[in-house]
Amino acid sequence: GDSVTQMEGPVTLSEEAFLTINCTYTATGYPSLFWYVQYPGEGLQLLLKATKADDKGSNKGFEATYRKETTSFHLEKGSVQVSDSAVYFCALRTNAGKSTFGDGTTLTVKP
Amino acid sequence: DTGVSQDPRHKITKRGQNVTFRCDPISEHNRLYWYRQTLGQGPEFLTYFQNEAQLEKSRLLSDRFSAERPKGSFSTLEIQRTEQGDSAMYLCASSLGHLEETQYFGPGTRLLVL
């Protein structure tokens, strides 16, 4: 079945550091790929998405490129801020129904 | 606020009791999804609706769980004879219904079974 594997956390960085959170997937067909973010006390929010190979999703300084050859969708940001502290979830969807999520990576950014 | 809403936000119940949760999707969203999230894990799919039709159910959805969306608008998720293992966050999401549409999540209902 479909699965998503995320880099284990927690991840702690200093402000303005470079961020990478790894995500790899296994899926049948041609999935769409997503990164969601969950800030403390809030619900899941879509951060960015990519719907086909080589697409790059971007939002709020975050980027991820759909790599079909390595089945990966790593999340990156060049300079993190304290306000980026949250839990980040990688997810895929192969049809118009269910999404399959990774277990989440907790990011803490210290000033 | 036109986002997905869920009620209640928190529920504490005793083992063996029945509970019901409600989800109100974004207006005009045809698809509605239920997920369950336990601590330290990502959301797990439970079921989804296209309008009032329930199109897919996960094997996680035992016969104690039932979901409805009678008029194609709000949905309810009922858990009968709750068990301690049912303690989790229950998330609802909705989408327009196109192939690659974004799912918008509600704040969730946190269930604690004592």
Q: Among all residues of chain B, which has the CA nearest to that of A49?
A: B102
Task: Establish, for the pair of chains A and B, how many residue pairs have beta carbons separated by less than 8 Å.
Answer: 57
Q: Is A48 on the interface with B (CB under 8 A)?
A: no
What pLDDT shows up at residue B100? 57
A97 and B56 in contact by Cβ < 8 A?
Answer: yes
A71-85 burial, b if ≥16 CB within 10 A, otherwise e? bbbbbebeebeeebb
**Quick one: what percent of chain B has pLDDT higher than 90?**
75
- The 10s digit of each residue's pLDDT in A8-57 is 889 999 999 999 999 999 998 889 999 999 998 888 999 999 999 999 99
| Tokens 């997905």 found at | B4
* pLDDT reported for residue B28: 86
Can you tell me the distance from the alpha carbon of A86 to that of A63, in angstroms, rounded to the nearest whole number?
16
Cβ–Cβ < 8 Å for A98, B48: yes
Q: For an interface test with B, give the residue of A25, A44, A94 to mutate (most B CBs within 10 A).
A: A44
Mean pLDDT over each residue of chain A, to the nearest integer: 93
Model pLDDT for residues B53-102, shown as the tens digit of each residue: 998 888 888 899 999 999 889 999 999 999 999 999 999 999 987 655 78
- Residues from chain B that touch A39, judged by Cβ atoms under 8 A, are none
A33 and chain B in contact, CB less than 8 A? no
The residues near B62 (Cβ < 8 Å, ≥ 6 apart) are none
Comparing CB atoms, the residue among B40, B97, B105 nearest residue A103 is B40
Minimum distance, in Å, between the CA of residue B112 and any CA atom of chain A? 17
Distance (Å, rounded) from C-alpha A29 to C-alpha A27? 6
CA distance A16 to B44: 33
Q: Which of B22, B107, B112, B19 is nearest to B73 (CA)?
A: B22
* Chain CA centroid to CA B4, Å: 11
